[in-house]
Amino acid sequence: MLLGVNIDHIAVLREARKVADPDPLDALSICKRAGADQITIHLREDRRHMQDHDAKNIIEFSTLPVNLECAIEPSMIDIACTLKPHRVTLVPEKREEVTTEGGLAIMGEQAKLKEAIKRLQKNEIEVSLFIDPTLEAVKTSLDLHVEWIEFHTGKYANIYAMLYTNLSKTPHSIPELELSRKILKQMLGDELCNLRLLSCEAMERGLRVAAGHGLNMQNVAEIVEIETIEELNIGQSIVARSVYVGLEQAILDMKAKLIR
């Protein structure tokens, strides 16, 4: 299974102090050495982490394919068409959000999306849509003739965290907690089943399928078992672990989890 390493959080650390380091550009050779298959970066409209010069330099100097995430806004598509990354993943953006909270509202934005996709593909950039795992979103993606979709795994990750991070620290003998544990297990199973069915449907109809958001060393195994998902894009948990084990080791460890 392919691993795209999202290096935005290196820029988050730099921008917290508005200094020059750590420079995400320095991560490129480490990612390559550790076996990453792709570099993923998000150039947000508010430039809260990656800056224009980061995107430019990363796309110019990376020896791995670069997946540039950006909003559907024409000004961002202009930048993408100039920088010409390997792939552009179109994502929703809200100024007030801490991170990308959900998939694109693609059913309501088809005209804008069509225009963005047309321009990107004309520039020989493959296009991915970051979508919630719903049948409607898959069907709309098919109609839009993109090469890839990426399923937002935030809901899966949240249920997993509620089930195994919080409740596991509480006594098991409280019946109400056992009941909520049962419900959460059911929800987790349903979400995995949904991801499995939709990725199979999408792949059979010619879309390539990626997934990402909130994945970490604990919760990734069940997603890796879904054979029709080709690629995962993982950022926060890798960069967080790298504080303790180093970036190269954090990527090596995640890559080992992705072996099928």
Query: Does residue 150 belong to the site contacting ligand PXP (CB under 6 A)?
Result: yes
Query: Does residue 51 belong to the site contacting ligand PXP (CB under 6 A)?
Result: no
Closest alpha carbon to 31 in 58, 52, 11: 58
Write phi, then psi, for 147 (nearest 5 degrees): -85, -35
Query: Does residue 140 belong to the site contacting ligand PXP (CB under 6 A)?
Result: no
Query: Does residue 22 belong to the site contacting ligand PXP (CB under 6 A)?
Result: no
Only one residue has tokens 């998000």, namely 42
Q: Mark whether 69 is an active-site residue.
A: yes
Q: Which of 69, 132, 191, 231 binds ligand PXP (CB under 6 A)?
A: 69
Alpha helices (runs of H) in the chain, residue ranges in sequence order: 8-17, 27-33, 52-61, 74-83, 110-122, 135-143, 154-161, 175-204, 220-224, 236-245, 247-257
Query: Does residue 100 belong to the site contacting ligand PXP (CB under 6 A)?
Result: yes
Catalytic residue, chosen from 9, 152, 213, 248, is 213
| Residues making up the chain, counted from first to last | 260
Q: Which of 7, 71, 106, 130 binds ligand PXP (CB under 6 A)?
A: 130
* Residue 140 or 233 having the CB closest to ligand PXP: 233
Q: Mark whether 42 is an active-site residue.
A: yes
Q: Which of 82, 99, 165, 186 binds ligand PXP (CB under 6 A)?
A: 99
State the Cα–Cα distance between residues 62 and 137, nearest whole angstrom: 32
**Burial of 259 per CB tally in 10 Å (0-12, 13-18, 19+):** exposed
Shortest distance in whole angstroms from residue 177 CB to ligand PXP: 27
Shortest distance in whole angstroms from residue 213 CB to ligand PXP: 4
Other CB atoms within a 10 A radius of the CB of residue 4 amount to 26
* Residues 187 to 246 in contact with ligand PXP, rule: CB under 6 A: 212-215, 233-237
Shortest distance in whole angstroms from residue 233 CB to ligand PXP: 4
* Residue 88 or 181 having the CB closest to ligand PXP: 88
In DSSP notation, 69-102 reads EE-S-HHHHHHHHHH--SEEEE----TT-SS--S
Q: Count the site residues for ligand PXP by CB under 6 A.
A: 18
CB 59 within 8 Å of CB 24: no
Catalytic residue, chosen from 9, 42, 49, 152, is 42
Task: Catalogue the active-site residues.
Answer: 42, 69, 213
Give contact residues for ligand PXP (rule: CB under 6 A): 6, 42, 69, 89, 91, 99-100, 130, 150, 212-215, 233-237
